[in-house]
């Protein structure tokens, strides 16, 4: 009898311990220039469950891991390939071959055509450390190699950001991405890769027409941001979420769609998005949590609110190490509290049963 109770309580406690939201390293981590293999390795070592990356097509149809459509925010392209810019002064990924892109040095993100660093306290943008852009192939091999070498199974969250842009240029970037994943035998929902994009109809295309079984996440933002032609006002309504649940496994909304802030960045309430998503069995992973840029006055309280009050399923963050630390400390705190109360209950039960018998 006692054994039974002990077992029951142990199971309950262990379950409590496992329930922390997922942590997704946004473009790797904040500590080295974004999306480099070095910063992805850091995210892997920190224990991020997912490493989030973006892909663009080069002139010769190679998948380059980079966030912007142009190269100027994170490389020295204007210096290495002068005179190749379009009329707005920017150098577009799609105008350069992989060989040309490999000649560039990657640096911490700056304002394009201006050169000042976006996050002033991060890695110095003027360092001479020779970081490089990489291909999707290299990134997949890094992940699979690290998973094997460490025995820790992390996953890749691949964002196809402007499928419409590529379609206008007569490219199907989704087809190329799926083809590359297939070459690595990554085709099933249980495989360690997930695809996400802001273009909701492209997710439906990937599922239905391209026939992919991979897990898909729907990125969402405000319509006025102009990320894609998708109508996010519809897709974050109950009806829209119901519709999405036929195609995707999770929503990855801007945190602004999940909670409401006043003009000082103080949280004043939450939207129904998470509740509705959970009703339709969709997970919710809002973006982007940055320790050096967030609304309100306490990053810790922000994470706590999203976790305990909104009950999101994960965090897309530039600081996966710090968010993990916050989540795990909280669990440890409550875990030991729970352990004590459960032990107390076990003893009480034992005494009660002994007296009754």
Ligand X SMILES: *[C@@H]1O[C@H](CO)[C@@H](O)[C@H](O)[C@H]1NC(C)=O
Q: Which residues of the chain form contacts with ligand X (CB under 6 A)?
A: 54-56, 62, 67-69, 78, 83, 85, 89, 111, 113-114, 116, 135, 137, 160-162, 165-166, 169-170, 173, 180, 183, 185, 188, 243, 246-247, 262-264, 271-272, 308, 330-331, 334
Least separation, in Å, of the C-beta of 2 and ligand X?
Answer: 26
Q: Based on C-alpha coordinates, what's the Rg of the chain?
A: 23
Of 189 and 353, which has the nearer Cβ to ligand X? 189
Q: How far apart are the C-alpha atoms of 191 and 164, rounded to whole Å?
A: 27
CB 303 within 8 A of CB 315: yes
Of 171 and 350, which has the nearer Cβ to ligand X? 171
Q: How far apart are the C-alpha atoms of 169 and 56, rounded to whole Å?
A: 12
Least separation, in Å, of the C-beta of 340 and ligand X?
Answer: 13
Least separation, in Å, of the C-beta of 84 and ligand X?
Answer: 7
For 314-334, give one letter per residue: b (16+ CB within 10 A) or e: bbbbbbbbbbbebbeebbeee
Least separation, in Å, of the C-beta of 172 and ligand X?
Answer: 11
CB 194 within 8 A of CB 219: no
Of 56 and 317, which has the nearer Cβ to ligand X? 56
Closest chain position to ligand X (CB)? 161
Of 83 and 130, which has the nearer Cβ to ligand X? 83
C-alpha distances (whole Å) from 14 to each of 20, 49, 173 are 12, 19, 43
Least separation, in Å, of the C-beta of 167 and ligand X?
Answer: 9
Least separation, in Å, of the C-beta of 344 and ligand X?
Answer: 17
Of 332 and 354, which has the nearer Cβ to ligand X? 332
CB 259 within 8 A of CB 301: no
CB 284 within 8 A of CB 249: no
Of 130 and 226, which has the nearer Cβ to ligand X? 226
């Amino acid at each position: 009898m006692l054994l039974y109770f002990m077992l029951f309580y142990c199971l309950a406690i262990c379950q409590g311990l496992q329930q922390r939201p997922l942590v997704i390293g946004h473009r790797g981590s904040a500590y080295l220039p974004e999306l480099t293999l070095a910063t992805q390795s850091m995210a892997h070592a920190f224990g991020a469950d997912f490493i989030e990356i973006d892909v663009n097509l080069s002139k010769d149809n190679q998948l380059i891991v980079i966030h912007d459509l142009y190269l100027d925010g994170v490389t020295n392209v204007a210096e290495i390939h002068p005179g190749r810019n379009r009329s707005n002064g920017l150098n577009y990924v799609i105008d350069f071959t992989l060989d040309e892109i490999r000649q560039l040095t990657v640096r911490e993100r700056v304002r394009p055509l201006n050169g000042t660093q976006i996050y002033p306290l991060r890695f110095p943008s003027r360092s001479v450390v020779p970081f490089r852009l990489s291909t999707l192939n290299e990134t997949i091999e890094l992940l699979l190699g690290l998973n094997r070498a460490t025995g820790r199974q992390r996953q890749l969250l691949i964002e196809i950001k402007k499928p419409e842009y590529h379609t206008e240029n007569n490219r199907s970037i989704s087809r190329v991405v799926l083809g590359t994943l297939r070459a690595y035998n990554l085709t099933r929902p249980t495989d360690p890769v997930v695809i996400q994009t802001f273009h909701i109809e492209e997710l439906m295309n990937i599922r239905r027409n391209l026939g992919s079984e991979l897990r898909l996440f729907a990125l969402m933002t405000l319509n006025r941001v102009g990320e894609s032609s998708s109508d996010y006002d519809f897709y974050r309504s109950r009806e829209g979420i119901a519709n999405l649940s036929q195609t995707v496994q999770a929503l990855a909304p801007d945190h602004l769609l999940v909670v409401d802030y006043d003009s000082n960045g103080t949280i004043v309430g939450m939207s129904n998005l998470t509740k509705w998503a959970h009703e339709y069995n969709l997970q919710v992973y809002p973006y982007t949590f940055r320790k050096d840029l967030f609304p309100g006055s306490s990053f810790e309280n922000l994470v706590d609110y999203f976790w305990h009050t909104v009950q999101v399923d994960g965090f897309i963050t530039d600081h996966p190490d710090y968010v993990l630390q916050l989540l795990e400390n909280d669990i440890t705190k409550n875990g030991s509290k729970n352990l004590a109360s459960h032990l107390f209950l076990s003893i009480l039960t034992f005494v009660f049963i002994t007296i009754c018998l």
